[in-house]
Amino acid sequence: MHLSRRGLLYGSAGAAAVSLAGCGAGEDSAQLTGFTGISMPTDTSERWVIEGKALEANLKELGYDVIHQNAKGVVEDQIAQIQSMVGEGVEFLVIGAIDNTSLGQVLADAKDNGVTVIAYDRLILETPDVDYYASFDNYQVGVLQATHIIERLGMRDEPGPFNIELFSGDLGDNNSQYFFLGGLDTLESFIYEGKVVIPSGQTEQEPTATAGWSGDVAQARMAELLAEYYDDEDTELHAVLSPYDGISRGVVAALVEADFEPGRGGFPVVTGQDAEAASIKAIKDGTGQTETVFKDTRQLAHTVTGMVKAIVDGGDPEVNDLGTYDNGFKFVPSLLLEPVDVTADNYVEVIVESEYLTEEQIDAGEA
């Protein structure tokens, strides 16, 4: 793991731009037209579909040509799609990788063709050919999730012990380790104190991982954990640290199947991420998870559009972090945005009033 986390964090987005001569498209920028290839990783998680469209619209508004494809979870398709974008002559690639180590060769080809590569939300590893990274403070996502559990269970005042189970994301996604570590670091002192117990003993990233970020995979693992570690009346489950709303809904489904009643005392605290409509509905109605982490992906799309524009205009994109995201070759200059904790208390202000989702979309459970 390369986690020199707070290395050179320059504060929030919008902080001083850092000059990065040589990292962008360089001297040829005068001839650039902004032609961009967008490669999104999956359509099973709402955010990538919404963001792909937003990015495309933002770039087109600037008069840039765009090729936009979604590889729907198939690594080989993503490689082929990127390869064909390079063949079409894109000047920029904006990539949300499915698997963080599978793009080395195709990015080497892109580099040979002078393409500027922006890793979108997920860092691409083990290649020198990534120029920029735009994402959120992924470690902070885990901190917010764990803090929700601590506060919701009153852990600072109550004696406990509290039984918690941990879920992490797909192992091929670099973000997973940051979410997980942020959560674990935040729970660490309670674990040492003995206030937090993890009855399964599964505290490492690998056994807690959820392939493909799949809700079904999470549901199956939760069902197994319940059967194996919580089948006697005395072992209560107090909380589940879940990194993503789709996983959270799978966890809740397993709990319901095991006769836990959402909304009643005794239903475990379940966290999440991405402010998906179905999860906000559960948070609002008190029928499942109680928290999600909102990452304003409109802002991310806007940020990345700004990066492309800066290079087209002959300048350097703004970044605010040079020392956190080591991809195995280098610390990739990054622009990190701030994630926001969302509960029933603030979803109206954060999600509805910002026009991310309407109450109707939330009630329908669909974005």
Residue with the two structure tokens 């006697």: 232
331 pairs with which residues across the strands? 326
Give me the least distance between CB of 139 and ligand BGC, in Å please: 12
| Between 24 and 172, CB nearer to ligand BGC | 172
For residues 175 to 204, the per-residue mask of contacts with ligand BGC, x marking binding by CB under 6 A and - elsewhere, is x-----------------------------
Binding segment for ligand BGC (CB under 6 A), chosen from 152-160, 169-177, 188-196, 231-239, is 169-177
Residue 81 binding ligand BGC, by CB under 6 A: no
Q: Which of 251, 262, 269 is nearest to 285 (CA)?
A: 262
What φ, ψ does residue 116 adopt, rounded to 5°?
A: -90, 130
Per CB under 6 A, 356 contacts ligand BGC? no
User: Least distance to ligand BGC from the beta carbon of 106, Å?
Assistant: 19
d(CA 42, CA 71): 6
* Identity of the residue, 242 or 320, whose beta carbon is nearer to ligand BGC in the bound complex: 242
Instruction: Give the residue with the Cβ less far from ligand BGC, 91 or 341.
Output: 341
Q: Which residue has tokens 């198939």? A: 74
What is d(CA 284, CA 279) in angstroms, rounded to the nearest whole number? 8
* Residues between 254 and 313 that touch ligand BGC (CB under 6 A): 273-274, 295
**Shorter beta-carbon distance to ligand BGC: residue 169 or 333:** 169
Question: What tokens appear for 37 in the block?
Answer: 């290839």
**DSSP structure class, residue 38:** E
- Residue nearer to ligand BGC on the CB measure, 122 or 195: 122
Rounded to a whole number of angstroms, the CA Rg of the chain reads 21
Residue 27 vs residues 89, 110, 197, 314: alpha-carbon distances, Å: 18, 17, 57, 8
Nearer to ligand BGC, 66 or 123 (CB): 123
Q: How far is the CB of 295 from ligand BGC (least distance, A)?
A: 6
Q: Nearer to ligand BGC by C-beta: 24 or 52?
A: 52
The count of residues interacting with ligand BGC (CB under 6 A) is 12
Binder of ligand BGC out of 131, 137, 173, 341 (CB under 6 A): 173
Taking CB under 6 A as the criterion, which residues in 109-168 touch ligand BGC? 121-122
Do strands 292-294 and 340-342 pair parallel, antiparallel, or not at all (unpaired)?
Answer: antiparallel
CA distance 108 to 71: 20
Minimum distance from CB of 271 to ligand BGC (Å)? 12
**CA-CA distance, 82 to 64, in Å (whole number)?**
18
In terms of Cβ atoms closer than 10 Å to its own Cβ (0-12, 13-18, 19+), residue 249 is: buried
Contact set for ligand BGC, span 201-230 (CB under 6 A):
213
Residue 244 as a binder of ligand BGC (CB under 6 A): the answer is: yes
Whether the CA torsion 342, 300, 66, 48 is positive or negative: it is negative
- Can you give the binding site for ligand BGC, defined by CB under 6 A? 45, 47, 121-122, 169, 173, 175, 213, 244, 273-274, 295
